[in-house]
Structure 1
Amino acid sequence: MSYDDHNHSFLFVPPSTQDRIQGVLSAAVMLVMYGDYQCSESAKVYRLIKAIGRELNSSLEENNLCFVFRHFPQVQIHPHAQHAAQAVEAAAAQGQFWQMHDILFAHQQELGNGYLVEYANYLGLDISHFLQNMSKKAHVARINEDIQSGLHSGVTATPALFINGIRYTGRWNNTQLTAAIVTASH
């Protein structure tokens, strides 16, 4: 295996407290997803992971599964993806990352700036602070760090998923993804 192959099947930057995390970093199974809020496949895979997580939480021990989301906006094909990523980070600055994250994936056809402000309003965010973060591009560096870590791991498109640091190459369906997660937990 050449260095190049190695690069494309393993996670280059391990999950840390700098990431957007659901669960605990000491979990037996660590899922790292690179996604784009305007990518319908990213939304589908995120919903799939959430459903599998709910199923497995009842069968596996508590804290056995950790989910990490990293930004990988594909701006060349998704004109709203970068702004959506900035909006979710602006929401994160007010403690509402996952709430905004879920809204954006649920409303992928409506990611223009006006909608982003509506969602921020719906979540009860401080709108002037939110808009200030957006206009100053306060979170672009963080988003770029995610993109760079993805590129180092061989990510070229979304969704990209790593299970315990290894690139998942199976089908995006409940059966195969659940099997891969359960296997990783042993």
Structure 2
Amino acid sequence: MSDDRNQSSLLIPPSTQDWIQGILSAKVVLVIYGDYQDPRSADVYKLIKAIKRELSATFGEDYLCFILRHFPQTQIHPHAQRAAQAAEAAAAQGQFWLMSDALFDHQQRLENGYLIEYANDLGLDMPQFLQELSKEVHVDRIHEDIEGGIQSGVTTSPALFINGIRYIGHWNMTELMAAVIAASR
């Protein structure tokens, strides 16, 4: 069945179009499809950041590449799409990862007023940020991530791919770290 292969493989390869921490030629490339309002996405995001810190300290900065793609589940998380737009508007000013940290840290507060507060805290150009948010400048980028996820069999977030293969293990430090290290061999 060809569907089985599609369900387990990342069909849109990592590229410089993605939001990347690390280098694409790293031994291990993690791609997460996440939703800023989803508690499990936040947990996995923080788990991956901790694993990246630990492995970078042990094996060097070029060991692990971390990519975050948007997969807002708007049917259950009404603020997820707007939060993704805020992350993209922050990215236009070089602050994608700091805004992502803020959004995942404050998942219960993703209404517009809070998004503006986070942008202000990051020192963003507020007129630019507000204009991009109000005109939904980045919505196509978010839809591209969603579409790529769907093509790769993603139906819910978080969804994680390690070197292009869907991770189906438990979401804990021990198992995820073991899967990452195994993928580097």
Instruction: Please report the TM-score for the alignment, with normalisation by the length of structure 2.
Output: 0.99
Tell me how large the CA RMSD over aligned residues is: 0.6
CA deviation after TM superposition for structure 1 residue 53, in Å = 1.1
Structure 2 match to 1:28: 27
For 1:62 and 1:20, the matched residues in 2 are separated by 16
* Correspondences of 1:85-100 after superposition (within 5 Å): 85-100=84-99
Which 4+ stretches in 1 moved above 4 angstroms?
none
- Tell me how far apart the structure 2 counterparts of residues 41 and 81 of structure 1 sit (CA, whole Å): 13
Deviations 1:85-142 (A, max 9, x none): 0000000011110010000000000000000000011111111110100111000000
* Deviation for aligned residue 1:59: 1.9
Identify which range, 51-60 or 134-143, moves more after superposition.
Answer: 51-60
Q: Name the CA distance, whole Å, in 2 between partners of 1:53 and 1:127.
A: 31
* Aligned residues with identical type, % of pairs: 66
Distance 1:60 1:171 in 2: 24
Deviations 1:14-45 (A, max 9, x none): 00000000000000100000000000000000
Q: Which moved more, 1:120-129 or 1:50-59?
A: 50-59
Q: Secondary structure at the match of 2:29?
A: strand
**Structure 2, gaps ≥5 residues long:** none
In structure 1, distance between residues paired with 2:53 and 2:61: 11
CA distance in 2, matches of 1:25, 1:139: 23
Q: Contact 2:22/2:61 (CA < 8 Å) preserved in 1?
A: no
AA matched with 1:172: W
Tell which deviates more after alignment, 60-69 or 31-40.
Answer: 60-69
Q: CA separation in 1, counterparts of 2:46 and 2:40?
A: 10
Q: Secondary structure at the match of 1:56?
A: helix
What runs of 5+ residues in structure 1 fail to find an aligned partner? Answer: none
SS of aligned partner of 1:12? coil
Paired with 1:111 and 1:62, the residues of 2 have a C-alpha distance of 32
Count of paired positions: 185
Secondary structure of 2:84 counterpart: helix
1:15-54 paired onto structure 2 within 5 Å: 15-54=14-53
What TM-score results when the alignment is normalised by the length of structure 1?
0.98
Classify the secondary structure of the residue corresponding to 2:114.
Answer: helix
Report the residue type matching 2:30 in the other structure.
L
For residues 41-85 of structure 1, the C-alpha deviation after alignment (integer angstroms, 9 at most, x for no partner) is 000001111111111112223311000000000000000000000
- Report what 1:183 is aligned to: 182
1:139 paired with 2:170, answer: no
Q: Given residue 113 of structure 1, which amino acid in structure 2 is its aligned partner?
A: N
One-letter identity of the residue aligned with 2:126: I
What's the CA shift string for 1:137-159, capped at 9, x where partnerless?
00000000000000000000010
Q: Residue 72 of structure 2 aligns with which residue?
A: 73
